[in-house]
Each structure stands twice: as structure tokens, then as C-alpha cells.
Chains A and B, each alone.
Chain A
Amino acid sequence: MFFGIIGELAVGFLTTLELFALTLVFALPLGLLVSLCTMSKFAPLRVLFKVIVWVVRGTPLMLQLLVIFYGPGLIGLPPLTNRFLAAVIAFVINYACYFSEIYRGGIESISKGQYEAGQVLGMTRSQIFFKVVLLQVVKRILAPMSNEVMTLVKDTSLANTIGVIEILRVAQSINAYYAVNIIIPVLYAGLFYLAFIGILTIVFGRLEKKLNYFKV
């Protein structure tokens, strides 16, 4: 019975991991783009993105999931039939906005002197950003980023609001079949989360060490 429960939970956890990984893959670069837009010199763009970030950070992720999944159908567009896809879209938008604020903090913390040193050496704006500034930003934001990424691991459970069968959803539904108290599979599910967070803690620790070769 134990292995039966663990096996089913593992299948659910795969969905959790997929959602987690896809969110990171898209939200990390998108967040950078959003942060650049919120810092743009072009006022309409800047204001637009600041409002978007405000709305996304100012409303619950669960609400956003519902809006993305049911919204299109309500206003006469073809409804999103793929629940998982809807969840990915909502998570990517939500996390891109959170990441963008972390990026912004990191980018704004880099001294003006770094940009100017690049400028007087004839570098282009993109060279300055990618060759001079970015790694310093990464080093600065690693700690808040790791926080946010760990929150994401646990937030994935919200996807079950729109019926994505992730690990907690599985845990809640298998007690009937195995005739155990619901608390048992849910506790096992908790172990999955804990183990994964443990791995992430180690990964971020390594990254931090790797960037310790210089000081900003």
C-alpha cells in the first residue's frame, strides 16, 4: 500500500515539476524583459508595465488562474480547454512580474560608475548590460531569487483550483481507493515537497559559492 500511494503521488509530482520547470524557463527571461520595460525611458511603456506588475502582484494567483482559464470563454473567445496550459500561462505571467521586481532591484543597485566605465571604453549599451552588469546583478539577486523559486514550488499546488492533477490533488483523491485517512497521503506529499526544496537549497548554495570568486 505504501508503495502504491508513493507511486501515484510520484505521477502527480511529475506534473508539479513540469509546471515548476516550464514556469521558470519562461518567467525568468520574461521577467527580465518586464523589468527593463518598467525602467524604460519611454513613459507610456513604463507606465503600462508598472500597472501590469501592480495588478498581477496585487491580486491572488488563484484568481489569476481562474481568469486565464475561464476568462476567454466568458468574453466569447475560444475557451482554453487545456487546464495545464492555462496554469502555465498564469504562473508565467505571475512569476515574471515578481521576478521583474527582483531584477529591477538588482539592476538599480549597480553603481552608475559601472555603466560609465563601459561607456568611456566605447562599449554599446547591450555590451555593457550583458558583459558588465548582468553577472553582478545575478550575484546580487541570488538570495531573493532562491526565495521566490522555493515559493513557486509550493504555489504550484494552486493549479488544482482549475483541475490540474498535481501532487496535492492526487493526494486528496487516493484515500478512498486505499481506504486510509486522507491525512496519510497528504503527509507523504509533504515529503515530496520537502525533498525537492532540500535539493533546491543545495543547488542555490552551490550557485552562491560559484559566484563567490568576486565581490560587488
Chain B
Amino acid sequence: MAFLELKNYRKKFGENEVLKGISVSLEKGEVLTIIGSSGGGKTTLLRCMNFLEMPDEGELYLGGEKLFDAAEKKSYSDAEIREKRLHFGLVFQQFNLFPQYTVFKNITLAQTLLAKQDFKRKKEDFAAVCKKAPKEERKKLKAEQKQILDEIKSNQKKSIEEKAENLLSRVGLSDKRDSYPYELSGGQQQRVAIARALALNPDILCFDEPTSALDPELTGEVLKVIKGLKSSDSTMIVVTHEMEFAKNVADRVIFIADGVIEEEGAPQEVFENPKSEKTRAFLRKSLEEVF
């Protein structure tokens, strides 16, 4: 079984069936690009993977284990959904940075909140242990626990900050650490959004047309960053209209039309030797747009 197995995803909005049984499998470290004409269901597919939408049917396996089954979706609690979400990251077309926070805080916020929850849980565990201990030992135990907790807290903070610094340098924005989103260009904002998504170490990072909202001269810097992320342990799914990017960076390409996968394969196959007539028409049209 592949690292990610998406089986027969179906999604309807009212009477409009947007995903008509989509199956995807992806190995660890692979980059999959999804192309397709407008309204084909690409965004919906990514949103279903990130549980922003719930598919009506389908199963998702990650690392060999079943992560999601639409048949059981009613039984998942909010907390369970949140946990499942953390396996995936999503970079939006419109960046969606938090305007009131600096670049640095945008990257660290979610991690800090998660760390706080962990810390609180640990503290409660400790308190429970303390309660069980004999009275005369409690004081000593409490002091020890406090020391451990303080250490955990400062380690958490340090590791979160170090990671954010690292990510900032990876996306080439170390000097923008303390800027606010409105002070950045679109390309820079998108790079921050990428760093923010990476900060939570998602197993799979999804991009929904990460350069569509950018001026043409800014798309290059963002695509370069995404290309730079490619490595044996980062698995990515990129919805894009940038055919060159799809050709050069992707390990595999999927062409989606009207909620079904029309064509799937290595970039050379799909771009140079498409089997389906729809794919051919789409590629012809997207070439025309360029010239």
C-alpha cells in the first residue's frame, strides 16, 4: 500500500456531484501535481483531504493505516478531526495570513497553541500523580514537578522559535521576521504561508494554486521555494495551472475533469502523449493561453 491512499472519494453539493469517485495513491517523498479546467473539482479534492469539507463517500489511508472513512464520519469528534487535519497542510491561493501578527508569530502561533495544550495535559497528569502520593512526600514531589514543567516550557519555546527561524531562512525571508503581512508583496506573503504550513510538520503538504493570485513576475519565487522543498521526506500535492512547473517538478500528474480523473501518469506521458481526448483539448487550450 502506498503512503497515501485515497479511495473512491465522492462529494456532492446539493445535486451537483463535484467529485465522482476519485482515487489517488502517492508514495512518500513524491510530488503530485493536479491539473484540470476550472470547476473540475481540484479545490474540493484538496479541501476534502484537509477535512474542510467532508466527502460523502470514500476512505483515506495514511502510512498504511485508515485515517478517515466517510461511512464513520458522524462518529468523529471535533478533536479527532483536528488531529487528522494535522497530518495535512494546506497553502491557500489567497495566502490567508493572520494580519494582526508578525511574520514570525504567524509561523509560531499554531505550534504555540498546540504546545500549550500539551503542557496543560502534562500538568494535569502531574497533579493527579501528586494527589496519590503520601502527604509527607507531596511537597518534595511538587517541587520536582515544577522544575520539570519549567524545563519543558522553556524547551518548547526554544524549539518552536528555532524551527521558525529555520523555516524563514528556507523560504528566504529571515529579514522579514518582524514585518506584518500587509508590508509584504504577494509572493513574500505566500512564502510565509508555506513556512507557516511547514511549521506543523504535515505528512502531506497541499497547495491550491499557490501562484494564481500573484503578479506574473512573482510566481517564480514561490515556485522556486516549492521546488526547493522537494526531498525524500516531504510529500506534496500541488494544484496548479503552471504547466512548466508541473512538467519539471512533479513525479506524477493527474488531470481532473468534471470530478473524475481523466488521465494520470508521469509528466512526460501526460504532457507528451496524452491518451484521453479531454486531456489533449485541455493541454492545447492551456498552450494557446500562453501564446
The residues of A with any CB-CB pair to B shorter than 8 Å are 111, 113-114, 116-125, 127, 131-132, 135-136, 139, 213-216
The reply to whether B78 and A120 form a contact with Cβ atoms under 8 Å apart is no
Instruction: Give the distance to chain A from B106, nearest Cβ to Cβ, in Å.
Output: 9
Write out the residue numbers on chain A whose beta carbons fall within 8 Å of the beta carbon of B98. Answer: 114, 117, 132
B108-161 contacts to A (CB < 8 Å)? 109-110, 113-114
The reply to whether B94 and A113 form a contact with Cβ atoms under 8 Å apart is yes
The reply to whether B85 and A120 form a contact with Cβ atoms under 8 Å apart is yes
A122-B94 contact in complex given A127-B113, A213-B180, C-beta closer than 8 Å = no
Q: Does B89 sit within 8 A of A, measured CB to CB?
A: yes
- CB-defined A-B contacts under 8 Å, sample of 27: A111-B94, A113-B92, A113-B94, A116-B92, A116-B96, A117-B92, A117-B98, A119-B50, A119-B85, A121-B200, A122-B82, A122-B83, A122-B114, A122-B200, A123-B82, A124-B82, A131-B109, A132-B98, A136-B100, A139-B100, A214-B99, A214-B101, A214-B180, A215-B99, A215-B182, A216-B99, A216-B100
Which residue of the partner chain B has the closest CB to A112?
A: B96
Instruction: Give the distance to chain A from B82, nearest Cβ to Cβ, in Å.
Output: 5
Q: Does B2 sit within 8 A of A, measured CB to CB?
A: no
Which residue of the partner chain B has the closest CB to A132?
A: B98
The reply to whether A122 and B52 form a contact with Cβ atoms under 8 Å apart is no
Instruction: Give the distance to chain A from B124, nearest Cβ to Cβ, in Å.
Output: 17
Chain B, interface size: which category?
20 to 34
Write out the residue numbers on chain A whose beta carbons fall within 8 Å of the beta carbon of B82. Answer: 122-124
B69-83 contacts to A (CB < 8 Å)? 78, 82-83
Write out the residue numbers on chain A whose beta carbons fall within 8 Å of the beta carbon of B207. Answer: none
Q: Does B252 sit within 8 A of A, measured CB to CB?
A: no
The residue that A120 contacts in the complex, of B88, B109, B114, B180, with Cβ under 8 A, is B88
Q: Is the interface of A mostly helix, strand, loop or mixed?
A: helix
Write out the residue numbers on chain B whose beta carbons fall within 8 Å of the beta carbon of A132. Answer: 98
Q: Does B86 sit within 8 A of A, measured CB to CB?
A: yes
Q: Does B90 sit within 8 A of A, measured CB to CB?
A: yes
Write out the residue numbers on chain A whose beta carbons fall within 8 Å of the beta carbon of B42. Answer: none
Bound complex: CA of A216 vs CA of B159, how far in Å? 30
Q: Does B11 sit within 8 A of A, measured CB to CB?
A: no
Write out the residue numbers on chain B whose beta carbons fall within 8 Å of the beta carbon of A120. Answer: 50, 52, 85, 88-90, 197
Q: Does B196 sit within 8 A of A, measured CB to CB?
A: yes
Which residue of the partner chain B has the closest CB to A215?
A: B182
The residue that A131 contacts in the complex, of B52, B113, B181, with Cβ under 8 A, is B113
The reply to whether A122 and B99 form a contact with Cβ atoms under 8 Å apart is no
Write out the residue numbers on chain B whose beta carbons fall within 8 Å of the beta carbon of A136. Answer: 99-100
Instruction: Give the distance to chain B from A206, nearest Cβ to Cβ, in Å.
Output: 18
Which residue of the partner chain A has the closest CB to B202?
A: A120
The residue that B96 contacts in the complex, of A113, A123, A213, A216, with Cβ under 8 A, is A113
Bound complex: CA of A125 vs CA of B78, how far in Å? 9
Instruction: Give the distance to chain B from A214, nearest Cβ to Cβ, in Å.
Output: 5
Write out the residue numbers on chain B whose beta carbons fall within 8 Å of the beta carbon of A215. Answer: 99, 180, 182
The reply to whether B110 and A122 form a contact with Cβ atoms under 8 Å apart is yes
Write out the residue numbers on chain A whose beta carbons fall within 8 Å of the beta carbon of B197. Answer: 120-121
Write out the residue numbers on chain A whose beta carbons fall within 8 Å of the beta carbon of B101. Answer: 214
Write out the residue numbers on chain B whose beta carbons fall within 8 Å of the beta carbon of A125. Answer: 78
Write out the residue numbers on chain B whose beta carbons fall within 8 Å of the beta carbon of A214. Answer: 99-101, 180-182
Bound complex: CA of A214 vs CA of B178, how far in Å? 12
